[in-house]
Amino acid sequence: MTSLDTKPRKADKPARAVRSAGDRTFAGLSTGAGILILVVLAGVAAFLIAESLDAISAPAAEVPGGEGVWSYVGPLVFGTLLAAVIALLVATPLGVAIALFITYYAPKRIAATLGYLIDLLAAIPSVVYGFWGLAALAPSLVPFYAWAERNLGFLPFFAGPASVTGRTMLTAGLVLAIMILPIISAISREVFSQAPALHREAALALGATRWEMIKMAVLPYGKSGVIGGAMLGLGRALGETLAVAIVLSVSGGITFDLISSSNPSTIAANIALQFPESSGLDVSTLIFTGLVLFVITLAVNMLARYVVNRRADFSGAN
Amino acid sequence: MAKRIDVSDLDIFYGNFKAVEGVNVSIEPRSVTALIGPSGCGKSTFLRSLNRMHEVIPGARVEGKVVIDGQDLYGSDVDPVDVRRQIGMVFQRPNPFPTMSIYDNVVAGVRLNSKKMKKNDLDDLVESSLRGANLWNEVKDRLDRPGSGLSGGQQQRLCIARAIAVQPEVLLMDEPCSALDPISTLAIEDLMTELKDRFTIVIVTHNMQQAARVSEQTGFFNLNGVGQPGRLIEFNPTEKIFSNPDQKATEDYISGRFG
Ligand SMILES: Nc1ncnc2c1ncn2[C@@H]1O[C@H](COP(=O)(O)OP(=O)(O)O)[C@@H](O)[C@H]1O
Ligand SMILES: [Mg+2]
């Protein structure tokens, strides 16, 4: 199914002798490629750690913000996760629904066109998304934010004061959602369309409606693929720089208020915005935040793999 | 519970291709009816038209009548989903849901009927269905394990348990033993003999001895050439088909002269 299902294995132990030259070459190439990935990963990690040591060991007062690296990175981590989680919460159900519609409901021609249009979303550069979010989406959401503050203000998410520019955490999350929608829907579409006819027919023959058939034979089969797609999307949302840097109005610390103008930035956007004017310890601090982002992304991926593998013998891959 | 099936002037199409033509037959309740014939003559196609699974394939349709105890299956007010709930099907390749446990596989159809059942009743149903399929003793200690971990023969019996758990009126089986070893095949043949007291069974088989062993009636399908529609050439008591068939083609086929 997806790459998530096939764990990257170390090259098979030489139980059998490698015979032909072709086999040997291929074994060598693939082992080399596997090792190369590990070397690159280790290299990146080593670089990040080495460069951020200065900031970690510096006196708290000298680090930007004046309270040490951990206080500096805290709100950024929060902002990064919040924007990415909003994006994921919006894009995953939408992507799955679109994928189901394309694979099992839409007439062939509509399905093909829709699939093509969604794929096109992936080809739009993120700077364009950023400007679209700033110039089109944000202003059009302003009335909604005002309404939400009046009517839903009892929820911490809509506490307000509502932004008059619309450059809020929610807007940034929505822009990210649209950016990761193609990944999630493309992967979901792929796994849904591969749900075996054998099991779809088994469900139908038991008297399942189309939706029941999807619940019995398609969604369980595609679940790990959907999780994989969502994690890829999450990876992109966590690391997205330009769109967030352009859309989000940044001033302030940790808050769950999604509709105000004072938001924490995200790690990637903050690096992009601060880096040009930084030197010395500031750079080291920024690299430290990059290290944190690296660790978060690794953790997310490991969590995803754990979730996918937990019920592997029920996965339908056997 | 078991019901009679009357088919008249049934033509079955895949798009513009007519796969089966002019079938007229009456299938008796509480009996096993076998369908035999060479590959590609439309046995599976015909079988799938009896529970409206045929139309699941895009462009597939039928003309003619299939009547089950007076009810026209293809009537304009008949929901195919209801038809399939009354007529169970077992496929050629065992297809338990790999994402479900053995237990959940058995009750999958019952859960669809959205009857709220108490845990106790469900447990009883699982046991009686698995016993009905001669599988209980082999799986009673691992009901929560995935069905895909069973052997092929066990998987097929699990599929039979799943089909009979909803108490269908008719059970259709499309070469249910063709992927199985001889011992599992015998187990399933024994099972059919037991089940015919409660269900009307129609089975497609490539195995002539099997047809002779399990069925009361046998239908022979044949086709005149590639691209021609298949036809039901002869339908008679199994004994007669295998000793003194009416048609020369039937005799040629069962004596192994072609097919
Ligand atoms: N999904 C399908 N689409 C188009 N034609 C099909 C399809 N399934 C079967 N057919 C055709 O219908 C005819 C009957 O096939 P089938 O019912 O599978 O035969 P049998 O089960 O007797 O071997 C064959 O000519 C076959 O090619
Ligand atoms: Mg067949």
- Return the sign of the alpha-carbon dihedral for residues A35, A39, A42, A45: negative
What is the Cα A283 distance to its own chain's centre? 26
Whether the Cβ atoms of residue B84 and residue A206 lie closer than 8 Å to each other: yes
Residue B1: what pLDDT? 54
Does ligand 1 lie within 6 Å of residue B98's CB atom? no
Q: Which residues of A149-164 are buried (b: 16+ CB within 10 A; e: fewer)?
A: beeeeeeeebbbebbe
Please, how many CA atoms are within 13 Å of residue A27, restricted to the half-sphere of its CB? 13
Q: State the average pLDDT for chain B.
A: 91
Q: Which ligand is nearest to the CA of B175?
A: 2
Fold of A29-314: MetI-like fold (1.10.3720)
pLDDT digits (tens, 9 = 90+) for B174-210: 999 888 888 888 888 988 888 888 889 999 998 899 9
- Strand B60-68 and strand B71-72: pairing? antiparallel
On chain B, the residues whose CB falls within 8 A of the CB of A198 are 91, 93, 95
Residue A4: what pLDDT? 46
Rounded-to-integer distance, Cα A188 and Cα A92, Å: 10
Total Cβ atoms within 10 A of residue B91: 22
- Strand B87-90 and strand B170-174: pairing? parallel
What is the Cα A297 distance to its own chain's centre? 9
The answer to whether the Cβ–Cβ distance between B91 and A221 falls below 8 Å is: no
B139 and chain A in contact, CB less than 8 A: no
User: Is residue B18 very low, low, confident or very high in pLDDT (cuts 50, 70, 90)?
Assistant: very high
Does ligand 1 lie within 6 Å of residue B49's CB atom? no
Decide which of B116 and A308 is more confident. Answer: B116
Structural tokens at position A148:
């939400």
For ligand 1, pick from B11, B12, B13, B14 the residue to mutate: most ligand atoms within 8 Å of CB: B14
Cα–Cα distance list, B16 to B11, B19, B61, B143, B227 (Å): 12, 9, 10, 46, 11
Please give the biggest Cα pair distance in chain B: 57
Whether the Cβ atoms of residue B5 and residue B68 lie closer than 8 Å to each other: yes
Q: Which residues of A53-91 are buried (b: 16+ CB within 10 A; e: fewer)?
A: ebbeebeeeebeeeebbeebbbbbbbbbbbbbebbbebb
Residue A3: what pLDDT? 45
Does ligand 1 lie within 6 Å of residue B231's CB atom? no
Decide which of A305 and B110 is more confident. Answer: B110
B106 and chain A in contact, CB less than 8 A: no
Given B53, B88, B97, which is nearest A216 (Cβ)? B97
Rounded-to-integer distance, Cα B35 and Cα A138, Å: 67
ipTM attached to this prediction: 0.91
Q: Tokens 């990210």 — which residue?
A: A176
Q: Give every residue of chain A whose pLDDT is below 50, as ranges.
A: 1-8, 317-318
Residue A6: what pLDDT? 46
Give me the total of CB pairs closer than 8 Å, taking one residue from chain A and one from chain B. Answer: 78
Its pTM surpasses 0.95: no
| d(CA B15, ligand 1 centre) in Å | 12
The residue extents of the domains of chain A are 29-314
Percent of chain B having pLDDT more than 90? 68
B109: burial class by Cβ within 10 Å (0-12, 13-18, 19+)? Answer: buried
The answer to whether the Cβ–Cβ distance between B148 and A220 falls below 8 Å is: no
The answer to whether the Cβ–Cβ distance between B97 and A202 falls below 8 Å is: yes
Least confident range of A12-16, A258-262, B31-35, B220-224: A12-16
Q: Tokens 């992927």 — which residue?
A: B179
Does ligand 1 lie within 6 Å of residue B250's CB atom? no
Does ligand 1 lie within 6 Å of residue B14's CB atom? yes
| d(CA B238, ligand 1 centre) in Å | 25
* Residues contacting A128, CB < 8 A, separation 6+: none
Residue A7: what pLDDT? 47
pLDDT digits (tens, 9 = 90+) for B143-152: 999 988 899 8
Residue B225: what pLDDT? 83
Q: Which CATH number does B5-95+171-254 carry?
A: 3.40.50.300
Closest approach of chain B CAs to the CA of A194, in angstroms? 14
B163 and chain A in contact, CB less than 8 A: yes
The residue extents of the domains of chain B are 5-95+171-254
The answer to whether the Cβ–Cβ distance between B98 and A315 falls below 8 Å is: yes
Gap between the terminal Cα atoms of chain B: 36
Interval B11-19 mean pLDDT:
94
Residue B258: what pLDDT? 59
B150 and chain A in contact, CB less than 8 A: no
Ligand 1 atom 3 nearest Cα: B14
Percent of chain A having pLDDT more than 70? 91
3-state secondary structure of B219: strand
B178 and chain A in contact, CB less than 8 A: no
pLDDT digits (tens, 9 = 90+) for B89-106: 999 999 999 889 999 999
Interval B229-243 mean pLDDT:
94
Query: Closest ligand 1 atom to the C-alpha of B41?
Result: 22
Residue A203: what pLDDT? 95
Residue A311: what pLDDT? 57
Give residue ranges of A with CB < 8 Å to any B CB.
196, 198-199, 201-209, 212, 216-217, 220-221, 223, 313-316, 318
Residue A21: what pLDDT? 85
Q: Which residues of A237-257 are buried (b: 16+ CB within 10 A; e: fewer)?
A: bbbbbbbbbbbbbbeeeebeb
Q: Is residue B259 predicted with pLDDT exceeding 60?
A: no
- Strand B230-237 and strand B217-223: pairing? antiparallel
The answer to whether the Cβ–Cβ distance between A202 and B84 falls below 8 Å is: no
